[in-house]
Amino acid sequence: MQPMTFRFPVSSRFGDEPADPVGDLFSVLSRGDIISFAGGIPDGALFDVDPIRDSFEFVLGRHARRALQYGATPGEPELRAAAAALVSRHLPTAPEDILVTSGSQEGIYLSAQALLSPGDVVLVEEPTYLAAVQAFSLNGAKLVGVAADAEGMLPEALDEAIAEHAPRFVYLIPTFANPSGKTMGRRRREAIAEILLRAQVALVEDDPYGQLRFSGEPVPPIASLPGMAEQTILLNSMSKVMAPGLRIGWMRVQGPLKQILGIAKSAVTLQSPALNQLAIAHYLTHHDLDAHIARVVGPYRERRDALHAGLLAILPATATVTRPDGGMFCWVTLGDDTDTARLLPVAVEEGVAFVPGWSFYASDPDRSTMRLSYATNSPDTIAEGLGRLAAALGR
């Protein structure tokens, strides 16, 4: 990364040496000959383009002036109603409890704005989603990592961390987490909920991947467990199941927090794009999102299998690899003294890339970890990329 020099002072929020590990990585990936397992993006070839085009044409044909005008901060009524119907599959939700956002990333940022004062502690699972850590840090949070096992955050460790740090909220991705691919089972969710209810600590439950399930049984969101709806901001997104370029997601939140979030949202974006909202609302009511998801999960399952089995075949015996039932990521722990940040340039020389795991930790990184996405490569390309990774590992 180039050192940053400014002619004028910039905010102290960014620290003396702002690090942008993912931005740095993506500049390397512009080299066309690299097989990348680095990005966490859906496969554009699988987008439901024709029905999306039809939805935009319908909105521009019938409601052009409204779609091109300013709209209400919490979102267009049609989309709030369609989103409430989707969330109500797990948790009864009124359209008034939906605040439309520009992707769940905005939901993460607005949650931080609404809940945090400078110096407040946010508890996150180790490892966790990097851009959430950035959003919390920019809002003055002190991040504290909580230990996890194969199912995610450990209830005992959460209990201890709450007693020690009096956090303002806990941030979790309980289903197909980024970066780990892990999913919390129902029992674990109940144990976490019980602790949060007892301690009266809020939960920001980030669920952009939950609908992208290709094996195993669905697990309801923590927000739907008894008592938790009042204490949780649930974040959903159309990015992974429909198209991230639309930049539409929503927060499911009830009670007086809605007002604060509305103030925060109008200070940042006023509203999310009305045209996209109305087109998505039309898509959700006149086309078949479930059928689309059912079509895309087949290829994702094949790619997960190719990446997971292929990794097991090339990695040392000390390594562990997660095998997610959905979402986009396998998480590798080499479990030896390899530093994957040092391995990456060697891998890029061989023509393959991944994200070194250290950047996903709030406190104490395991430097032998890495995140690999299977979402955008065919099984054959995955096999070729793993051959290159094996070469980089000297295997």
In the complex, the smallest distance separating the C-beta of residue 365 from ligand PMP, rounded to whole angstroms, is 18
User: Quick one: 222 or 392, whose CB is closer to ligand PMP?
Assistant: 222
In the complex, the smallest distance separating the C-beta of residue 178 from ligand PMP, rounded to whole angstroms, is 4
In the complex, the smallest distance separating the C-beta of residue 180 from ligand PMP, rounded to whole angstroms, is 10
In the complex, the smallest distance separating the C-beta of residue 273 from ligand PMP, rounded to whole angstroms, is 14
Residue ranges in contact with ligand PMP by CB under 6 A:
40, 103-105, 129, 173, 178, 206, 208, 237, 239, 244, 249
d(CA 166, CA 122): 9
Compute CA distances 126 → 120, 123, 357, whole Å: 18, 9, 10
d(CA 339, CA 333): 11
In the complex, the smallest distance separating the C-beta of residue 108 from ligand PMP, rounded to whole angstroms, is 6
In the complex, the smallest distance separating the C-beta of residue 224 from ligand PMP, rounded to whole angstroms, is 19
d(CA 72, CA 48): 28
In the complex, the smallest distance separating the C-beta of residue 12 from ligand PMP, rounded to whole angstroms, is 26
Chain residue at closest Cβ approach to ligand PMP? 103
User: Quick one: 60 or 131, whose CB is closer to ligand PMP?
Assistant: 131
User: Quick one: 63 or 213, whose CB is closer to ligand PMP?
Assistant: 213
User: Quick one: 250 or 358, whose CB is closer to ligand PMP?
Assistant: 250
Contact 243, 47 (CB under 8 A): yes
Compute CA distances 119 → 166, 186, 263, 357, whole Å: 11, 33, 22, 26
User: Quick one: 244 or 326, whose CB is closer to ligand PMP?
Assistant: 244
User: Quick one: 237 or 333, whose CB is closer to ligand PMP?
Assistant: 237
Q: Within 13 Å and on the Cβ side, how many CA atoms surround 203?
A: 32
Contact 128, 108 (CB under 8 A): no
User: Quick one: 93 or 237, whose CB is closer to ligand PMP?
Assistant: 237
Contact 224, 90 (CB under 8 A): yes
